[in-house]
Chain A
């Protein structure tokens, strides 16, 4: 079997008396779409935040491309090529699409204007933003200088995915990307995810939407009570089985499907 691109062993995170992660394991293989599902409060968000550098686990190890890593900020994870689309989208509503795409990694002008005056290269940033939106077929948005708050929910989600796709060279993590969207917009986002996979990126998809998970995931990581319960392949498993595992109605040993990983 190939080596996982992103791997975690025994992650622990406590908030006071609440144990958000209780020895959680995680494996993501290159070029796959891994869905992470779990009931509310199962600790999916903490797991994702640990992998994306937003939260530092109290214990446990994260390996990226086989090497142990410690991400102290989202920026460090970004540098390694891991981009995350948060459920809240992490966008500044009053700022423009270009501003948001480049927030925290702005491009400066070449030469004196950039190195001494620290001037931003708006021309290059706008062109890049436009190109990335075009690539993902999001150019229903005409004005790249439009504040994000004037966009529809689907458009905002599209921008957030485009931002991750533009900078994520290895792994893209999407937290509930379709939760706030209508049927048509959801389908558009699923197509985008398939498109990212086709480009060779590895994708982690956190979702409550079982039809979406079964439609695009290669494997399903089932999270329960702060740790990984098991991993199944959607081909060998039914939706009710997965829901049963997730809620504890079924134990992993009674799982009728093949359990992998």
Chain B
């Protein structure tokens, strides 16, 4: 919108008495930025439902979508926290994979009890995240650069430490079934919900609660919105940033555990696309890359949209490239909508 257009619309509002429809939509989105992805989700489900028919609504289809979204949803939740602080975490995928490798190798190479190995993997994830956080908050380095470096470091460490070996699914099932915990299935109304899916949903709801109803959650938003203002208001900006990156690392490690359940084996070669998928879910979910705005529920919707598109287009027999094309369009539209929402005036 140009400035002349803006002043014209502001004038017409003042003299015309009522608000235009568009203004009202803008305000509604401003208060509730996850409405857009929710709408896109509903519409895309309806469109694919009409095109594909009942097959799309089958429990199997739902099972597939949820399984696919489980890991992206968990990592996306971590990514959401970081992006709300106006940062970005490019190391989420690497933290996830290295943590899963630590869980596997500690069990099979050193013979630690699986529970202890898992604890080590989770601690490692939180530690990597905390290092990101320290570099961003104390050294004041840009998050993009810090996490780009961390991504490379952890990816290399991952291949060096694992010696590029995969731990086979049969061995895990026989000797350390705890690593497969999140693959456990619960059948609800014909649909298989893995424990991983349920965990993802619970995590998103929990984080939505924390962000809304605790001081820490409000500080995460304030730090992303205007760190200077937050500091002057008495918010511990550094502490909040470090904790956000550390929690994000911990969540990525949990995603690594869930991933072992999903693919069965422990492999250093997986999760290469997780970074970009998590950022896609966050952006389509209406969380502003400029920080301070958006809700974590949006990320869940964003992840589901990608899942629905992927499965819907596959069931239609379309080339998989169409999925990427559509997702690319959605990303650009989502960022455009975010810019528009941010221009809201009273």
Are B232 and A74 in contact, with the CB atoms below 8 A?
Answer: yes
Are B233 and A118 in contact, with the CB atoms below 8 A?
Answer: no
Are B346 and A152 in contact, with the CB atoms below 8 A?
Answer: yes
11 A-B residue contacts at CB 8 Å? A86-B232, A88-B228, A91-B233, A92-B229, A92-B230, A94-B293, A103-B233, A119-B214, A120-B214, A147-B31, A150-B346
Chain A residues within 8 Å of B234, by CB: 73-75, 78, 103-105
Chain B residues within 8 Å of A117, by CB: 213
The answer for the CA separation of A75 and B234 in the assembled complex, in Å, is 5
Whether, in the assembled complex, B192 has its beta carbon less than 8 Å from a beta carbon of chain A, the answer is: no
Contact with B233, one of A90, A119, A149 (Cβ below 8 angstroms): A90
- Chain B 324-341 per-residue mask, 1 if CB under 8 angstroms from chain A, else 0: 000000000000000000
Binding site for A on B (CB under 8 A): 30-31, 213-216, 218-219, 221-222, 225-226, 228-235, 292-293, 344-346
Q: Top 10 nearest A-B pairs by Cβ distance?
A: A104-B234, A90-B232, A75-B234, A103-B233, A92-B225, A106-B215, A150-B346, A90-B229, A104-B233, A94-B292
Known interface pairs A93-B225, A147-B30; A120-B231 also in contact (CB < 8 Å): no
Interface of A, helix, strand, loop or mixed by DSSP: loop
| Chain A: number of interface residues, binned into ranges | 20 to 34
Q: Which of chain B's residues has its CB closest to A52's CB?
A: B232
Chain A residues within 8 Å of B225, by CB: 92-95
The answer for the CA separation of A149 and B31 in the assembled complex, in Å, is 12
Name the residue in B213, B222, B233, B346 with the highest tally of chain A Cβ atoms < 10 Å from its Cβ: B233
Chain A residues within 8 Å of B30, by CB: 147, 150
Binding site for B on A (CB under 8 A): 54, 73-75, 78, 84, 86, 88-95, 99-100, 103-106, 108, 117-120, 122, 147, 149-152
Name the residue in A74, A75, A94, A100 with the highest tally of chain B Cβ atoms < 10 Å from its Cβ: A94
The answer for the CA separation of A88 and B344 in the assembled complex, in Å, is 20
Q: Which of chain A's residues has its CB closest to B221's CB?
A: A95
Are A95 and B215 in contact, with the CB atoms below 8 A?
Answer: no
Are A99 and B218 in contact, with the CB atoms below 8 A?
Answer: yes
The answer for the CA separation of A106 and B222 in the assembled complex, in Å, is 13
Are B229 and A106 in contact, with the CB atoms below 8 A?
Answer: no
Contact with B345, one of A84, A86, A150 (Cβ below 8 angstroms): A150
Chain A residues within 8 Å of B216, by CB: 118
Are B232 and A84 in contact, with the CB atoms below 8 A?
Answer: yes
CB distance from B138 to the nearest CB of A (A): 16
CB distance from B139 to the nearest CB of A (A): 20
Q: Which of chain A's residues has its CB closest to B294's CB?
A: A94
CB distance from A227 to the nearest CB of B (A): 25
Chain B residues within 8 Å of A119, by CB: 213-214
CB distance from A111 to the nearest CB of B (A): 15
CB distance from B319 to the nearest CB of A (A): 40
Chain A residues within 8 Å of B233, by CB: 74, 90-92, 100, 103-104
Chain B residues within 8 Å of A99, by CB: 218, 221-222
Q: Which of chain A's residues has its CB closest to B290's CB?
A: A94
The answer for the CA separation of A117 and B214 in the assembled complex, in Å, is 8
Are A120 and B221 in contact, with the CB atoms below 8 A?
Answer: no
Name the residue in B218, B226, B228, B346 with the highest tally of chain A Cβ atoms < 10 Å from its Cβ: B218
Are B232 and A54 in contact, with the CB atoms below 8 A?
Answer: yes
* 18 extra interface residue pairs, beta carbon distance < 8 Å, beyond A74-B233, A94-B293, A118-B216: A73-B234, A74-B234, A78-B234, A88-B228, A88-B229, A92-B225, A92-B233, A92-B292, A94-B221, A95-B225, A104-B230, A105-B234, A108-B215, A147-B30, A147-B31, A149-B344, A150-B344, A150-B345
Contact with B214, one of A74, A104, A118, A152 (Cβ below 8 angstroms): A118
Contact with A103, one of B213, B222, B228 (Cβ below 8 angstroms): B222
Are A93 and B226 in contact, with the CB atoms below 8 A?
Answer: yes
Chain A residues within 8 Å of B293, by CB: 94
Q: Which of chain B's residues has its CB closest to A121's CB?
A: B213
The answer for the CA separation of A24 and B228 in the assembled complex, in Å, is 25
Q: Which of chain A's residues has its CB closest to B346's CB?
A: A150
